Every structure is written in structure tokens, then in C-alpha cells.
């Protein structure tokens, strides 16, 4: 039996309209505390229940960037990006609803654009991404643009080599 190294999808395997839905994940107190420590953002709306009770949402909210980070992690865990993504090129992102401790979230992503860069051996894939809460409401949404490797081309000796430069 030949063992292979697992990998995600290559550029050519993405088609406009492809959709994926991730497994879900619940936001915890530990997530917020760890993210505050990692980012240095100790804003009391995230870290103080007493402070938060006197403000807009009446309770602590998760950092918006924590939600984006969780969305990124959920996408990666699905495996279609494993070892084929070369770079995260950019994003446009909106924070449309608060995330609270105990909210369970998942992402839904759809391929909305592809553009090949044959000379570079990769292509741009743009996704429309939504981070949704347990009730189906959208907490965050936007577009992500990634550079994804092209499929390796077979060389003359039958081995798989780097993508052919065109």
C-alpha cells in the first residue's frame, strides 16, 4: 500500500458556486480570556461582566476578531485548504451581530470568483463567507481571497513535479 500525504483542493478543483458548511463550535469563556491575552485587547466589554451590564449588549461580548479567527479555523479544519493554500491575500469583513459566551457558530462559504495565474503555478479563489449562530442568524460575513496551488503536472519520467510554468 502506498501512503500519500493528505492535501486540500487544487485551484482547478474549485468552481464558482461550490459551497461548504463547517462543523459547529461553541464560544467559551476560555476563548475570550485566551484571545484577550494573545491580542492584548482587554476592553472591559469583553472582560468585565459588571462593566458590560451598563452598555449596549448588557453582557460581555466576544471580540469581533475572535469570531473572525474562529471562522478561519473552522474553514481550515474542513481540509479543503490543507497544503494547497499558498497565501491568504485579503478580506473584506463585517461584524453584523454580537457573539456571546455560549453561542455556537459555524461557517458557510461559497466560491464566487476564480482567476488563474498559470505562470505562478497558482490561482486566486474568492469565497463569500458567513459566520452563523445557532439560530441561523449571521454574526459576521464578507469575502476572503486566497492563492491556491495548481495541480502538479507529471514530468517526462512519470514523477509528479511542480506545476508547469506557462
Gap between the Cα atoms of 128 and 121, Å rounded: 24
Q: Which residue segment(s) compose the domain that 106 sits in?
A: 11-149
3-class DSSP string for the chain: CCCCCCCCCCHHHCCCCCEEECCCEECCHHHHHHHHHHHCCCCHHHHCHHHHHCCCCCCCCCCHHHHHHHHHHHHHHCCCCCCCEEEEEEEEEEECCCCCCCCEEEEEEEEEEEEEEHHHCEEEEEEEEEEEECCCCEEEEEEEEEEEECCCCECCCCCECCCCCC
Distance CA 147, CA 124 (A): 5
Number of separate domains in the chain: 1
Say which CATH number the domain at 49 has: 3.10.129.10
Q: What is the mean pLDDT of each run of 10 residues along the chain (166 residues)?
A: 78 97 97 98 96 96 98 95 95 98 98 96 98 98 98 64 43
The predicted model scores a pTM of: 0.87
**Is residue 3 one of the residues assigned to a domain?**
no
Domain assignment of residue 2, yes or no: no
Q: Which residues contact 161 (CB under 8 A, 6 or more apart)?
A: 152, 153, 154, 155
122 domain-assigned: yes
Q: What is the pLDDT of residue 5?
A: 73
Question: 122: which strand partners?
Answer: 117, 149
Q: Mean pLDDT over all residues of the chain?
A: 92
Residue 162 lies in a domain: no
Residue 27 domain-assigned?
A: yes
- Predicted local distance difference test score (pLDDT) of residue 3: 64
How high is the pLDDT of residue 6? 76
The pLDDT assigned to 164 comes to 42
Within a domain: 134:
yes
- The answer to whether residue 101 is domain-embedded is yes
* Euclidean distance between CA atoms 95 and 103, whole angstroms: 15
* 159 is a domain residue: no
pLDDT confidence of residue 153? 83
Amino acid at each position: 500500500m502506498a501512503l500519500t500525504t493528505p492535501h486540500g483542493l487544487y485551484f482547478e478543483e474549485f468552481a464558482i458556486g461550490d459551497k461548504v458548511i463547517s462543523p459547529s463550535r461553541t464560544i467559551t469563556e476560555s476563548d475570550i480570556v485566551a484571545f484577550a491575552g494573545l491580542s492584548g485587547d482587554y476592553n472591559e466589554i469583553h472582560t468585565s461582566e459588571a462593566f458590560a451590564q451598563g452598555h449596549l449588549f448588557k453582557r460581555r461580548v466576544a471580540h469581533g476578531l475572535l469570531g473572525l479567527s474562529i471562522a478561519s479555523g473552522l474553514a481550515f479544519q474542513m481540509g479543503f485548504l490543507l497544503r494547497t493554500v499558498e497565501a491568504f491575500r485579503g478580506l473584506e469583513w463585517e461584524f453584523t451581530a454580537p457573539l456571546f459566551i455560549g453561542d455556537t457558530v459555524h461557517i458557510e462559504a461559497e466560491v464566487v470568483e476564480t482567476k488563474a495565474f498559470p505562470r505562478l503555478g497558482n490561482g486566486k479563489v474568492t469565497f463569500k463567507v458567513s459566520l452563523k449562530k445557532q439560530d441561523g442568524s449571521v454574526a459576521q460575513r464578507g469575502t476572503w481571497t486566497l492563492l491556491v496551488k495548481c495541480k502538479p503536472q507529471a514530468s517526462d519520467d512519470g514523477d509528479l513535479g511542480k506545476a508547469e510554468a506557462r
